[in-house]
Chains A and B, each alone.
Chain A
Amino acid sequence: MKKLLYIILMGFFIIACEDVIELETPTGETRINIDAHFRVFTQEEPIRATGRVVLTETVNFFDDNIPAVSNATVTITERESGTIYPFVEATPGTGIYESTDLLFLNDFDAMFDLHVEADGEVYSASAQPIRSAPILEIQQGDLEIFGEEDLELIVTISDTAGIENYYLFDFGFNLYQPLDDQFFDGNEFEFSFLYTEDDEVNLQPGDVVTVINDGVDEQFFTYMELLLEQTDSGGFFSSPPTTARGNVINQANPDAYPLGYFRISEAFTLNYTVQED
């Protein structure tokens, strides 16, 4: 909610003027970045699981090229059985490590350990799949906050009572909305999401958008809120930015800590066809 309010506050600065400037930024120590997000669509027939492990290195903010980390050893192990699922870099040089069958992740009682060996360092993380809530309905609204281009989707979900639930909604186009059920525990809850001009999405009637609801835990929720804050950071009402540390660690050499996250979410999805405004 914080993020949303700050965006709204920024909206008041109608008189404020924004321009792109040339600026030199420093370059910190190079670190590995591990992007390992997995989804299990439990309600689909057949059950489907998606995700991959992407390894890259940090570079200067204005660098156009983000170097991939190749030749790494990547595995996920189911802790109890000790079964090891290897991930391979299908196209060498991309830093993208995949596995042909991810359905082993559809075990909500299991604990999975990610293991990455690259350039002599060992990185590890563990995750348990987190339950989500189905998207009941998507409607189109006529709310406009930032301009006429705004497109409002009203999403209804059904929250599970008695549990602190955290969700990450994916509205496509790399647009995300984290949500926690603090104020609507156990209810059917509807909320609005706006596609705005700044999002450069330019949805037209007839276009289909896919909304996905991932179940996440509190740690990831906080991490994601930080990430989203950083993606538009330094703004007027923003908090002092810091590097978002994920859940991947370098046990042997803590100073060479990695960035990034490994998580497994139950996911629900619903398509929506954009209507005439």
Chain B
Amino acid sequence: MILKIERKNKLSINLMVFAVLNFSWSLAQETYTLSGNVIDELTGETVLGANILLPDLSIGAVTNEYGFYSITLPAGTHKLLISFLGYQTIEQEITIDKDTKLNFKMVEESSQLDAVIIEQNIEKTSIRKPEMSVAKLSSKTIKNIPAVLGEPDVIRSILLLPGVSNAGEGASGFNVRGGGADQNLILLDEAIIFNTSHLFGFFSVFNTDAIKDLKLYKGGIPARYGGRLSSVLDIYQREGNNKEFKMNGGIGLISSKLLLEGPIKKDRGSFLVAGRSSYAHLFLQAAGEENTASFYDLNTKLSYRLNENNSLYLSGYFGRDNFQLGDSFVNEYGNTVANLRWNHLFSDKLFSNLSLIYSDYYYGLNLAVRSFEWESHIINFNLKYDFKHYLSNNFKLDYGINNIYYHFKPGEIRPDSEDSGINPEEFTNQYANEFAAYIDAEHRLTDKLTVRYGLRWSHFTRLGQDEFRVYDNNNPVLFNEEFQIYEGAEPIRVDSFDRSESLADFNNFEPRVSLSYLLNDNTSVKASYNRMTQYLHLLSNTNSPTPLDVWTPSGPYIEPQLLDQYAIGFFKDFKDGDYTLETEVFYKDIQNRIDYIDGADLIANEEIEQVILNGEARAYGLEVLFRKNRGKFTGWLSYTLSKSEQRTPGRNANEPGINNGEWYNSLWDRPHDIAVNGTYELNDRWTFNGNFIYQTGIPTNLPIGQVQQLGLTVPIYGNRNESRLTDYHRLDLSATYTPRKNKDRRWQSEWVFGFYNIYNRMNAASFSFEENRATGQNEAIRTSIFGIVPAISYNFKF
């Protein structure tokens, strides 16, 4: 269970741990196991990352993502401290003379709606855990960050952390340490989410009200995660209150949301239903506007504790985005996820979770101007069985297996009416299976040195399909030396394979190592290495991913992406942990990063292998995070200095590759990235929050000349991504007002007022170059997405 050690602990307690751990704890005598769950007294929900500490023995444990802990103790009477951010610390004596189950109920320090608990920002990385390159945010922190249009947002929040950026406003997804937006493994209650954006990245698909906890791994990724190269964003949904029925919601300018939760059976089972919907489009429609954009999503969860050793969770997510230009263009896309999990305790030292997950990413298009409808799906069935084995206080093992079966339906085109000239056609379905087994140990070697080491074996099979195109020399892309252009080859034949056959097989061993060495009680150094494999590729050739982009599996013509990442870090607490400093440097190297030939058309292209070239990518950088953890003012300053590049050399001496085979900046390369976030709690009623962001502009291309063809003025371009957009910066401010009358009544409310980009900076999202058709002059046009955006929202709870 090594990795899910949370770091929300209070500093004082942390320090106690350090003090205590300096003792030797192997005083051999009879030992017993103390295990159980930590839950919230009011709601009955499990608490992730709570600390269970025995100060006299210098040992401790942390609850896992299902609230379970296990600790080995010598017989006798001991003092116990149970602590968690924002909760009152429990102090208790226990006498242990046999293996004991003990559940703890914690009480929130303040039960006010989202009241700012002063220490809640302590989400720092624990000095001694062999866990680095990890960022953690609670839903409370996320809610405090001023958001565009007033809707708190997970993705926008993590963008304020070092090493995380995106390709600009309106860009979907995020980039971690110079990686692509498709290289993030995004898990919602362990289910893989393919598209994280609503409204082209203006909102993310996660409803913060339904989220309990999230963790972002930028490196040092534990062996239990795999399938994406750059990061893991692991999000857990709340289970819902199993004591009483509760409701909360919010009303904003663009969207509103409502969450209902309550017991199915008191103390045993609960439900949670949370929905969000945008409604700005309704006003637009009422105003006669035919072009609209809207989204909605629904999170549901049922939790049931069968007995002490067994719990069941059934969760679901359903989200859709809808874009409409009158009737001529309708685009709808979204995720559907259903997930059944079974927690089982084999013993008080062996925790297990079995997950069965179904997920369907749907993308549909109705293009009346071309008389057709288009539909595509990625369906997957995912089975995971994970074990957490608490062998001793110094040695813990994680192991498990994971199997994902993929069914890709790249596209089905249908005439949209009887008189459409379109021939119905279904692109060949593709099938694949990804299996992985892993083992991962957290091993405390000495008081100062803790190591985590693990290995993941992944195996990917591209299964048989109909209409598999075979090319001469197995080469689907030809280089036309005469015209110096790449072009698709003609298939020499088309084969059909049975689904049980394998078209291509890939095996990869992915070692993961990280270690932490304590220099003194307040200072540690950490290092990590991880290898990752990614078998799926997002086909995207634009500045930012669009909902039109499709995923394709590795196979005979596309190799899996491989990453090696190295990182070292230095971590220090100051003033008893009032301040913390985290610095890291990283280097990553990616093989088999695909790029596309000039003029590649990726949309509705069944012969995608004909436009793909194989290349590589690399990124390196320095990250600094300085936090103030306590006091009326809390917040952080983050700075990232990094470089992200890509290269696609020619396959032989006669080919130029892309950009003549030279390294070029990736589209999301931002050498400097500074973010400042601060929260100031003035009094019980008013809390202020602000953030400031400064980033180097992303790479772009400026024309190096112009030519006339067919009467058109055409800009011509040189090497790729050599110029940049102007630097990006903005300041956001928000204020939260909690009315005083809240105190003693059931209905509680708050108002959030905010401004996004308060000084109305016109940040360039893109430059485009074209001839002004009215004047005949060539012009450079800057597109900016958001100027100043005010927001107001009203949140309630009862």
Query: Are A and B associated in one complex?
Result: yes
How far does the Cβ of B290 sit from chain A's closest Cβ, in whole Å? 8
Question: Is A11 a contact partner of B325 (Cβ separation < 8 A)?
Answer: yes
Question: Is A241 a contact partner of B170 (Cβ separation < 8 A)?
Answer: no
Chain A CB within 8 A of B310 CB:
no
Q: Which residues of B contact A222 (CB under 8 A)?
A: 487, 599, 601
Question: Is B325 a contact partner of A8 (Cβ separation < 8 A)?
Answer: yes
How far does the Cβ of B603 sit from chain A's closest Cβ, in whole Å? 5
Q: Which residues of B contact A227 (CB under 8 A)?
A: 709-710, 712, 714
Chain B CB within 8 A of A59 CB:
yes
Q: Which residues of B contact A241 (CB under 8 A)?
A: 701, 703, 715, 717
Q: Which residues of A contact B381 (CB under 8 A)?
A: none
Chain A CB within 8 A of B425 CB:
yes
Question: Is B704 a contact partner of A8 (Cβ separation < 8 A)?
Answer: no
Given contacts A219-B487, A241-B715, contact A232 B291 (CB under 8 A): no
Question: Is A257 a contact partner of B705 (Cβ separation < 8 A)?
Answer: no
Pair count A-B, CB < 8 A: 256
Chain B CB within 8 A of A139 CB:
no
Q: Which residues of A contact B422 (CB under 8 A)?
A: 183-184, 187, 189
Chain A CB within 8 A of B767 CB:
yes
Question: Is B543 a contact partner of A237 (Cβ separation < 8 A)?
Answer: yes
Q: Which residue of A lies closest to B202 (CB)?
A: A15
Question: Is B762 a contact partner of A19 (Cβ separation < 8 A)?
Answer: yes
Question: Is A245 a contact partner of B701 (Cβ separation < 8 A)?
Answer: no
Q: Which residues of A contact B103 (CB under 8 A)?
A: none
User: CA of A257 to CA of B762 in the docked complex: distance in angstroms?
Assistant: 40
Q: Which residues of A contact B601 (CB under 8 A)?
A: 1-2, 222, 225
Question: Is B765 a contact partner of A59 (Cβ separation < 8 A)?
Answer: no
Question: Is A5 a contact partner of B541 (Cβ separation < 8 A)?
Answer: no
Chain B CB within 8 A of A166 CB:
no
User: CA of A16 to CA of B777 in the docked complex: distance in angstroms?
Assistant: 23
Chain A CB within 8 A of B413 CB:
yes
Interface string of A13-26 (1 = CB under 8 A from B): 11111111111011
User: CA of A22 to CA of B715 in the docked complex: distance in angstroms?
Assistant: 16
Question: Is A231 a contact partner of B770 (Cβ separation < 8 A)?
Answer: yes
Chain B residues within 8 Å of chain A by Cβ, number: 82
Interface string of A206-239 (1 = CB under 8 A from B): 0000000000001100110111101111111111
Q: Which residues of A contact B483 (CB under 8 A)?
A: 219, 245-247, 249
Interface string of B281-303 (1 = CB under 8 A from A): 00000000011010000000000
Q: Identify the stretch in A85-93, A108-116, A190-198 within 8 Å (CB) of chain B at 4 or more residues.
A: A190-198
Q: Which residues of B contact A31 (CB under 8 A)?
A: 705
Chain A CB within 8 A of B784 CB:
yes
Question: Is A184 a contact partner of B782 (Cβ separation < 8 A)?
Answer: no
Q: Identify the stretch in B5-13, B365-373, B385-393, B737-745 within 8 Å (CB) of chain A at 4 or more residues.
A: B365-373
Given contacts A15-B785, A21-B780, A183-B413, contact A234 B716 (CB under 8 A): no
Q: Which residue of B lies closest to A185 (CB)?
A: B423
Q: Which residue of B lies closest to A232 (CB)?
A: B770
Q: From the candidates A14, A58, A188, A236, name the one contacting B765 in the complex (CB within 8 A).
A: A236
Question: Is A183 a contact partner of B425 (Cβ separation < 8 A)?
Answer: yes
Chain B CB within 8 A of A118 CB:
no
Chain A CB within 8 A of B600 CB:
yes
- 20 chain-A/chain-B pairs, Cβ below 8 angstroms: A6-B542, A9-B548, A23-B780, A25-B704, A28-B718, A58-B707, A61-B715, A145-B325, A174-B710, A183-B423, A189-B421, A222-B601, A228-B712, A231-B771, A233-B717, A234-B767, A236-B783, A243-B717, A243-B718, A244-B714
Listed in ascending order, the chain B residues whose CB lies under 8 Å from chain A are 170, 200, 290-291, 293, 323, 325-326, 328-329, 368-372, 413, 421-423, 425, 482-485, 487, 541-544, 546, 548, 596, 598-604, 667, 700-718, 720-721, 762, 765-771, 773-774, 777-787
